[in-house]
Copies of this chain bind each other. A is one copy, B any other.
Amino acid sequence: MKKVVVIGGGTGNFTVLNGLKKYNIDLSAIVSMADDGGSTGILRDELGVLPPGDVRQCLVALSDSSRLMRSLMNYRFENGSLQGHNFGNLLLSALEKVTGSFEKAVEEVGKILSIKGKVIPVTTHEVRLQMILNNGKVLQGEKEVYLSTEIHKGYKSIYLEPFPQANPHAISEILNADLVVFGPGGLYTSLIPNLLVEGVGKALRETKAKKVFIVNLMNKKGQTPRFTVKDHLNELKRYIGKDVFDHIIVNNSEPPKELIDDYAEEGEMVKNDLESDPRIVEASLLSNDLKEVQKGDALKRNLIRHDSQKLANELMKIVDSF
C-alpha cells in the first residue's frame, strides 16, 4: 500500500484528506501547531494546551464514523461562556489534560472517530508564530499574521518561538512516504509554520518520496498579492532549503465572474507563470458546490475553493504512476 503524507494546516488539509481517504492508501496528516485564533487561542491561553483546531479538522476529514459524530466534533457552542468553542476542541483539550499528552489525545480521538490513517502534530512543543515586518512591526501569533495586511510590503523574518524540534513521528512519516502532499493553505499561516520546525526541511530534502505542491486558488490581499506559482515556490524554497517539488498541481478553470468580483476585496486568483515547467499538472479543480459552505472554521467563507474529489483524482494519478 502506497504511503501518502499530507502536510499543512487548516481547511486545505481537510479538503485534501477528505478526498484521499476513499482510496486504498496509507494516509497520514502532519499538522501545523501554530494556530492560536478563535476557540483554539482561548484554550491555549486559558488551559495551556496545544492547539486543537487544525488537528480536529484533520481527524474529522479522516473519520469513518457516523455523520452524527462528525457533526458533534465540529459543533460550535452558540451561547454563554462556551460560545465559539467547537466541541472537538474541548474533547482534545480535556484528553490532553487527562492523559498528559497531546499526541495521546489525538490518538484516542482517532479511535473514537474510527479514522482512516494517522494525524500527527508537526511538533509537540508549545510554540507561537512570530513575524517581523520590514517596518519593524512584530506580529505576535498566527492570528496577527493572518489578519495582517502589510506582509506584502516585506518582512525580515518569520519563526516559531521557541524554536521547536520536530515530532520524531512526523519526521519518520516524511522519510518513509511514497508521496508527500504540501498545501493548499495560507502560505504564512498554514504552510510555512510547518517548515519552521527543526528537521522538517531536512526531511523533505532527504526523503525519497515524490513531493507535490498544491498551489492555492486565490491570493490573499496584503499577504501574497499577485503572487504567481513561481512566487509561491520561491517562498517555500527559502524554508525548505531547496526546490524539492516533483509535481505542482495548479487549477486552470475560472470561477464565475460574479464570484471573482465578490472576492476582489480579498484577493485575486493565483496566476500560473510556469506553464512550460514539466512539473506542472493543470486541471480543473474548482468546487461547483457553492451552497455547501460551512459556518464553522472547517471551510471558512471561501466560496472559491478546491473540490476534494478533483484534487484527490489528480493526486491518485501521480500515486498510480510509480
Instruction: Please list the residues of chain A having a beta carbon within 8 angstroms of any beta carbon in chain B.
Output: 42, 45-48, 68, 71-72, 75, 77-82, 85, 87, 90-91, 94-95, 97-99, 108, 112
The answer on a CB contact under 8 Å between A82 and B112 is: no
CB distance from A141 to the nearest CB of B (A): 17
CA–CA, A126 and B122, complex, Å = 46
Nearest residue (CB) in B for A94 is B87
Q: How many copies does the complex hold?
A: 2
The answer on a CB contact under 8 Å between A75 and B97 is: yes
Can you spell out 6 A-B residue pairs with CB atoms less than 8 angstroms apart?
A46-B80, A47-B77, A47-B80, A47-B82, A82-B90, A112-B112
* In the complex with contacts A47-B80, A82-B47, A82-B81, A71-B98 CB distance below 8 A: yes
CA–CA, A85 and B91, complex, Å = 12
Nearest 5 A/B pairs, CB to CB: A46-B80, A87-B94, A81-B81, A75-B94, A71-B98
CB distance from A212 to the nearest CB of B (A): 36
CA–CA, A78 and B72, complex, Å = 23
The answer on a CB contact under 8 Å between A99 and B47 is: no
In the bound complex, residues from chain B placing their C-beta under 8 Å from that of A48 are: 79
Q: Apart from A46-B82, A47-B77, A75-B94, what 15 extra A-B contacts exist at CB < 8 Å?
A: A45-B80, A46-B79, A46-B81, A47-B79, A47-B80, A48-B79, A68-B108, A72-B94, A75-B98, A77-B94, A82-B82, A87-B91, A87-B94, A91-B91, A112-B112
